[in-house]
Structure formats: C-alpha cells, structure tokens
Amino acid sequence: MKAPSEDTVSKAERHYDRANRLFEKGRFRDALREFNIAIQLDPHDPDFFNDRGLVWDKLGVSERAIEDFTNAIDLNPTASAYYFNRARVFTLIGEPERAADDLTEVLHLDPFDSEALLLRGGAFSDQQKWTEALDDYEQAIELAPDNPDLFYDRGLVWEAQQEFHKAIEDFTRAIDLDPEYVPAVMDRGNCWDELGELENALEDYNRALELSENDPLILFNRGLAYLNSGKLDEAIADFNESLEREPENRRAFSSRGDAWLRHGSYDKALADYNTAISMDPDEGDLFYRRGNVFDELGETEKALADYDKALQLDKTLAGAWHNRGNIRYEKGEFDKACDDYSQAIRLEPNMIIAYRNRGDTWRAMNRHDLALLDFNHALELDPDNHEAYNGRAG
C-alpha cells in the first residue's frame, strides 16, 4: 500500500487530535467518526487503530475493539499498551486464556508492569489457576506495595480456596491503604461469616453499607450472615430491603425462602422458591429446597417430584439424595433408599445422618451386618451420637 503524502498525514493527525478531544468529553460516537476519517487518510498509524479500539470498547462493541487492537499490534508488535488493551477486552468478554496470553506478551516487553501482573493474576484466577495468580500478585505487590487492588485481588484468591484467615489479612491491608474500599470491607465480612464470627461480619457489613448507601448486594450478604446465625427476622428484613433495591436478585428470593422455611412460614417459603424457580428453572438446588417445604408439609409426592427434578438437573446435591432416600424408606422401597443414601455418602463422606439412616434401612432388610457397619461409622464421626448408639443396640 502506497504511503500517504505529508499533507494527507497532517490532515489525518488533525482528525486524530479532534477525535481524542471528543473522546475525553465522552462524545464517543463523534470521536468514532473522526477516528474513521483519520484511518481512511492514514491506515499506517497504529495509534489510530488503538485509540479507535478504545472507543469501540466504550461503546460495548468488543469484537470491533479487538479487531482494532489487533491491527495496531500488527503495525507495531512492540507496543505493550496495545496488548494490554486487547487483554482487558478479552477479560471483559470472559476469555481469560487469551487475556493471559496477551498479558504475558506485555510482561515480556515490560517485566515491571504491575498493572499487567494484576490483570494477569485476575485472568489466572478466572481459570482457577491459583498458584499462577498468587505468583503474579506477589510480584505486583513487590513493585507497587501501595496499591490496594493488589491485596484485594489476592484476598479473593485466598477466599476462593477457603483460606479465610489469609483472605482477611489481605482485605485488611487493602482497607488500611484505602479505608473506603467497599468491596474489601464487604468481602472481609463474608470471610468472618464463613468463620462463624458474626459480630466481626456484622461490623464489616454495617461499615460497607454506610460507605455504599445500602448497596443491595451488601444487604443480601448481611442477610445471609443473620440467616447462618439463626437470626431469622433480621435476615428476612435484609432480604426484603435488598429485593426492594434489586428485584431481579434470584438468590435473595431463594435465601429468603430458606429463612421462611426455618421460620415455619411454609406458604411464604413456597412463594419465594416458586419465584426463584421461575427466574432460573435450570437450577437444581431450587427444586431441592422447594422439595424440603413439601416434605415438611407432608406432601410426599410433590416433595419426591422436586427431588427427582433436582437430581436430574444436578447430581451433586447430597441433600436431595438423602431426603429422597427418606421418602423411599417411608414408602418401604428399601433398596432404592439404600441407593440414595449411598449416593449422599459418596458426595459427603462425613454425612452422619446418612450413615444412620442407611443403617436403619439395612436393618429393615435384615442386613444386620451392614447396619452395624453404618452405625459404627456414624459413631466414629460423632462418638456422642445417641441415635447411632440406639441403632447399634437395636
């Protein structure tokens, strides 16, 4: 392709400068028009393509953004910013492997780019490559120890691995650097909740709510903390307020259903589970939860149908296997009940109640040797389990 004349290049640069001024003002469509003219006049300048890619990104047109960043890279493969920008779009559209590849190229060109390490750590996290993610965050922290994002993102990796104390330590360091870092405050609250430290969790949730003006996600998480600690009225109040602010939050409906179920308000629990199922009919856990309500109401066939549906959608639901086993036991279908209890135990080898109930089932089938094994196993897991003692004695 013939190179443009100096006059043409000059015209292109004027349109390019105008485009950047429009971009800074947030006038993205007008900026796009000016970038288009600049590229038509001079298709050899990689900055033109890169910056137009930024406009496409702002407009949410990811494919065109990636295409422009790729053109910029083809014209100048040594500019790390072009790879970084393309990686950022890959991250946004859920392609962490391609993002990580681009960020690796950035780090080949500039090994001390802490932002690239931060973003690649996130890409590795999205792939559950925890070791690689932690390595990147560690290097980035050495380069930029005052960046709270690095501690926060590393904390998320620890939290994902259920290393809650380490996560709390990193979230705390992020908060020390930025006392108004709402996500770090909220996630630290989540970790306290996982550890059963309700007072600490509530302190963090309350602080996060002050900073965020009652963000619905934080209200939801505080509701979960109340639910986990048995404070049902408080949990329901938080779920109510969360749903007022975010009525499409399916998890808030299902969690409020859990609270109503434990409260003994079965009609309200059913209403919430029905709403949640209408929003996500492919989530097996919702049918399992609704089945538990029918079970409490003595509506056995409806409960059985829901457990069947739950397991059709998700065969990893140990509770659904166990509770379906209970129904089959009551119906005298002992072989099927044993099969269900066995599936529950396979998924959760420490489910004491499943061993006890399978032991009762073996005994009902006159398989006393197998029943004794199950009662003994239950007692190994819980030496003070009176039901297991009674089962073994009977």
Give the CATH number, domain containing residue 305: 1.25.40.10
Q: Would the pLDDT of 107 be above 60?
A: yes
| 20 inside domain | no
What's the rounded Cα separation, in Å, for the pair 202 and 80? 44
Q: What contacts 135, CB < 8 A, 6 or more positions away? A: none
* pTM of the predicted model over 0.75: yes
The pLDDT value recorded for residue 4 is: 72
* Mean pLDDT, residues 79-102 taken together: 97
Burial class (CB in 10 A: 0-12, 13-18, 19+), 104: middle
Terminal CA-CA length for the chain: 92
| 83 inside domain | no
* Segment 232-269, tens digit of pLDDT: 999 999 999 999 999 999 999 999 999 999 999 999 99
Give φ, ψ of 385 to 5 degrees. Answer: -80, 105
What's the rounded Cα separation, in Å, for the pair 356 and 385? 10
| 80 inside domain | no
Domains identified in the chain, total number: 1
* Segment 286-295, tens digit of pLDDT: 999 999 999 9
| 19 inside domain | no
Average pLDDT, the chain: 96
Give φ, ψ of 45 to 5 degrees. Answer: -95, 115
**Does residue 210 contact residue 200 with C-beta atoms inside 8 Å?**
no
Q: Locate 381 and state its tokens.
A: 């897991």
What's the rounded Cα separation, in Å, for the pair 201 and 161? 19
The pLDDT value recorded for residue 144 is: 97
* Segment 299-329, tens digit of pLDDT: 999 999 999 999 999 999 999 999 999 999 9
| 254 inside domain | yes
Q: Which of 304, 305, 307, 302 shows the shortest CA–CA distance to 289? A: 307
The pLDDT value recorded for residue 2 is: 61
**Does residue 303 contact residue 322 with C-beta atoms inside 8 Å?**
no
| 27 inside domain | no
Give φ, ψ of 321 to 5 degrees. Answer: -60, -45
Q: Would the pLDDT of 6 be above 90?
A: no
| 247 inside domain | yes
* Segment 33-72, tens digit of pLDDT: 999 999 999 999 999 999 999 999 999 999 999 999 999 9
